[in-house]
Each structure stands twice: as C-alpha cells, then as structure tokens.
Amino acid sequence: MVKPLFVFVLTLVVSSALRAQCILPSPDPGCNGTEPLAASGQTISTASTRWYYGSPQTFTSLTLDGGTLIVCGDLTINSFTFNSGVIFVRPGASLTVTSGPALLMQGNCYVYNYGRMVLQRGLVLDNAHASVTTPNVFINAGVSSTLEMLFDWLVINNPYSWFVNEGKASMHGIVTDPLSAAGSVCLGNKSQVYMGVLINNAAKTYTAPSGPACVAVSDHAYICEGVTADATVNICMGVTGGTDSSCLVSRGKTRPWGNAVLFNSCTTCGAIAVLPIHPADTSAAGSRVNVVDGRGTATVPEIYPNPFTSGFSIRMPAGERALDVSLMDIWGGVVRHLRPGGNTDGVTALEAQGIAAGCYVLRIVTKKKVYLQRVLKR
C-alpha cells in the first residue's frame, strides 16, 4: 500500500492556522500495465495494492478496506464502499462512481485525483471514524485535475477532514458544518470551484494560501460564520445569486465573506479580474505611485457605462489625467492597453471591442496614482 502523508497531516491538524500551503498529495505512483489488476466485486484490504488499466470497464462493486486502488484508465464503479485506504486517479485517467447513497470517507481515507473523477452521488468526509491519526483527505491534485459531482453535496462535518482543490471542481454545493476546521477547504493558486449553493457554518473554512483562487456560487450562499480570512479567495456570485447571513448577523457579526473579494453578477471564474495591488506593477509614476482600489473614500474615476458593450468613458478626478489605461485579466495579466482617445470636459472615451464578456479590473495610471476599478463587459 502507498503510504499517505500521516506526519504532514498530523502537523496540519495541530497547526492549521499557521500553515503556508495546502496539504500536498502523495506523488503519482505510475502504471506500466503489468501490475496486479483490480477486479469487480473485490475487496482491497490493508497492505494490498491493485491497479486498473486497459480498455474502459464497469465494475458492479468494489470495496476499499485499507488498501490502495490506482486507476490508470477509464473505470466506472456502480457500488463502491470506501471504508479506508488510498485512491489514485492518474493523469489522463478517470474514475466514475454511479448514483446511489452518498459516498462516505470513513476515516483514514485519501483520494489523490490527478485526472478526472466523477461522482454521481454525494461525498461526505464523515466524522464516524475520522481522527487526528485517521483523517479524510480529498485532493484534486493537479492544475488539470477535475472533480465533477453536479447533482449532490460535498460535506465536511468534522475537524479531521480536508478538501484541497488545485484544479477545477464542480458540485451542487459544499457544506462546511460547525465542526469543520479552519482551512478545511484549501484552494490552490488559480484553482476554480463551481457550485450552486454554498453553506458555511464554521469560521474561516476557506483558504487560498498560495495565490488567488476562485469560488463561483451560481444560486445562493447561506453563511453563519465568516468564510475566509484570505483576500486571495475571490467569490464569483452569479447574476441571480444572493447571500443569506441572517444567522451570522444574529450573532453580532457583519462580514459573512470575511476578507474575500466579492464579485456580483459574475458568470464564470474565467471572467472575473483579480490581481494583487503593488506599486511595482507600474513604472509610470516611480516612487510617487499611490494605489487606490476604488473601495475607499478617496475620489476615484467615474466609469460609464458599466457594464459596457463596446466601449466606455472615464471622467477623471479634478486635476488628474490618465496616462495609461489597461484591462487586466483574472491573474493580473494585461488583456489590452487602451489608448485614451478624445478628451472633452475631463471625459476620455475608450474603445474595447473584441474583448470577451466578463469582469475585469481597469488600471488607470496618472502621474501620481494608480486607480484599480472593477468593470463588467457584457
């Protein structure tokens, strides 16, 4: 059996608030096509490792009871029991678990998905047997990894379970119950999570320690404790989405999303514009640059129409003139430099045709300041 990272996980449990990264996955064990094969109806017990490779196949049932399953091809399991053990889904491979009762990770359970995993049922990182030494860990392990469970919930209901997303994950919703640990949903740099409904009942459950990450909520969020302490967590709230934080407000708290950056009327993670704000991002004003994010009380440029279709206008604060105007993408890259056109009565017209619909950050550089404003392209 491939040993999970017990020491790392134990350290994480003890000092979760201090960690600087998400739990690391065990490395991909490889597959050469000669290893012992898994079979339908089999129980893979402790100290046993079985591989699946070859043509796509459907197993009627499989039980993982302390052993290791390494998926190297396209495998479907109709009835799967996950008592304990390790699952690897290798790059380019896929594991599908068909519909039925929620799949319970019952302690000492590890999933390292480097490929594609499809769950046509709920996933519960369950508290029945989870402990400091027998945690539940699900890691979407690579930037190209995908997790799909579009019709059901991912539930974390204990302090010894973690969901880590380094790639793209989609589900009906994530539920973090009151016993969930801070940082139990850990998001890798540039990762994306899509869900219909978010339910959060524990403080600071979401974290993005290594860089900006996106959580897209298309329908509704029910929040009883602040979601995150990290400004690197970006919330893409759908056009019809809303936030119900009445239970949080009843406790005298007023910031349901914590330090997250919230984008309303947002369609996809790929459309929102998020970037770190550093004076070094521009060389136009040298040491005199003063960054303003548009949310404070300082006078800022007026942008209209916003949302825009093919272009927009900027009215600068009195005494200021735009020297450079750029649209920035989700990771801070320049999508397009916009040349300021005619200037009439302090209003500058700009054309932005051919740019994909979505949310962006508009960077406006003057002699003394850099303004960062959110804009929406229809």
Tens of pLDDT, residues 84-112: 999 999 999 999 999 889 999 999 999 99
Lowest mean pLDDT among 69-78, 168-177, 187-196, 350-359: 350-359
pLDDT value for 317: 84
Q: If we measure between CA atoms, which residue out of 224, 270, 227, 269 comes closest to residue 248?
A: 224
pLDDT value for 138: 98
CA atoms of 349 and 217, how far apart (whole Å): 34
pLDDT value for 348: 80
Decide if pLDDT at 273 tops 60: no
Q: Are 226 and 258 in contact (CB under 8 A)?
A: yes
Decide if pLDDT at 5 tops 70: no
Taking all residues of the chain, what is their mean pLDDT, rounded to a whole number?
A: 85
- Summarize the confidence of residues 3-12 as an average pLDDT: 42
Greatest extent of the chain over all pairs of C-alpha atoms, in Å: 77
Stated as kind and residue range, the H or E segment containing 222 is: strand 213-223
Peptide bond into 307 cis (omega under 30): yes
Measured in Å, how far apart are the chain's first and last C-alpha atoms?
Answer: 52
Helix, coil or strand: residue 168: strand
User: Which pTM was predicted?
Assistant: 0.73
The CA-atom distances, in angstroms, between 98 and each of 58, 66, 168 are: 10, 22, 20
Tens-digit pLDDT profile for residues 122-144: 999 998 889 999 999 999 999 99
Residues 6+ apart with CB under 8 A from 163: 125, 138, 154, 156, 174, 184, 185, 186
- Summarize the confidence of residues 281-302 as an average pLDDT: 50
Model confidence at 13, pLDDT cuts 50, 70, 90, reads very low
- Summarize the confidence of residues 149-167 as an average pLDDT: 95
φ, ψ of residue 186 in degrees (nearest 5): -110, 125
Looking from the CA of 127 toward its CB, the CA atoms found within 13 Å total 11
Q: What is the DSSP string of 190-205?
A: T-EEEEEEEEE-STT-
Angle at 331 between CA 328 and CA 333, to 5 degrees: 45
Cα torsion for 166, 172, 176, 178, to the nearest 10°? Answer: 180
- Summarize the confidence of residues 158-169 as an average pLDDT: 97
* Helix and strand numbers, DSSP H then E, in the chain: 2, 29
- Summarize the confidence of residues 294-321 as an average pLDDT: 78
DSSP 270: G
- Residue with the larger pLDDT of the pair 162 and 1: 162
pLDDT value for 129: 87
pLDDT value for 338: 80
- Residue with the larger pLDDT of the pair 313 and 38: 38
Tens-digit pLDDT profile for residues 319-368: 888 888 888 765 567 888 887 665 656 688 888 888 888 777 788 888 87
Looking from the CA of 339 toward its CB, the CA atoms found within 13 Å total 2
Peptide bond into 305 cis (omega under 30): yes
Place of tokens 């942008």: 303
pLDDT value for 1: 46
Tens-digit pLDDT profile for residues 198-256: 999 999 999 999 989 999 999 999 999 999 999 889 999 988 888 999 999 998 888 99
Per-residue tokens: 342: 């005619």
Give the distance from CA 162 to its chain's centroid.
Answer: 13
CA atoms of 59 and 81, how far apart (whole Å): 12
